[in-house]
Amino acid sequence: MKLQLILACVITLTGGCATSTVANSGTYVEARTASVFAGACHYGAEYTTSGREAVMAWRFEEGPARGAEVVAFVSSHENLAENSSDRKSVVYLGGPRAACELALQGLRVDGCLGEILKVGDGADVQTQGDQFVVLGGEELHLRGELIPDRACCSMPSQRWYLPLGTSAPGVVGKSEIFDCDVPSMKVRFARTGENDAIVSSFTL
């Protein structure tokens, strides 16, 4: 029955073309509690004690899940670069319900969210020029801009992390606001002025 419902949603959203070859794609934004682009000493000092949390955000612009926005707060007991099996997340959805269900299903299959503890509403993913804004209900607030000189491209040796939720490397951004207060994860912090964000594209 569940499979039939999923197929029905795909048929509705694609105008009757229920095919697994239709890919979802769009804009991806991420921010970590560690600097993505920094000097080697800065990176080394953070690696073992930071980088255990991240905000991951997808805006689905093409494909069966078009119109969906998904924002996730992801946490682990070690730096997320370690791909640890204990990764847990809280997810926020925005947009048409059927599209959100398809989007979340694809992300579950991808495995980047780990164990999902809670799913709520209030996802909002915005990009305009070099600016980006991500909201997850009243619990997550990320705002910043891409580094203007694109030094992450000209000095790749100082870029330490690739995105968690897409294979496209994207461009590093600096967070002006990165506030998280997620009671269900018992996590609360505020960061600012770090090269800790990435804006990219994705295909699922």
- The one-letter amino acid at 196: D
Contacts of 128 (CB under 8 A, 6+ apart): none
pLDDT for res 5: 36
187 falls within a domain: yes
Query: Considering only CA atoms, which of 172, 108, 181 is closest in space to residue 144?
Result: 172
Domain limits for position 85? 29-203
83 falls within a domain: yes
58 falls within a domain: yes
For the chain, the domain total comes to 1
pLDDT for res 132: 98
- The average pLDDT across 127-155 equals 93
20 falls within a domain: no
pLDDT for res 21: 63
3-7, 40-44, 50-54 — which is least confidently predicted? 3-7
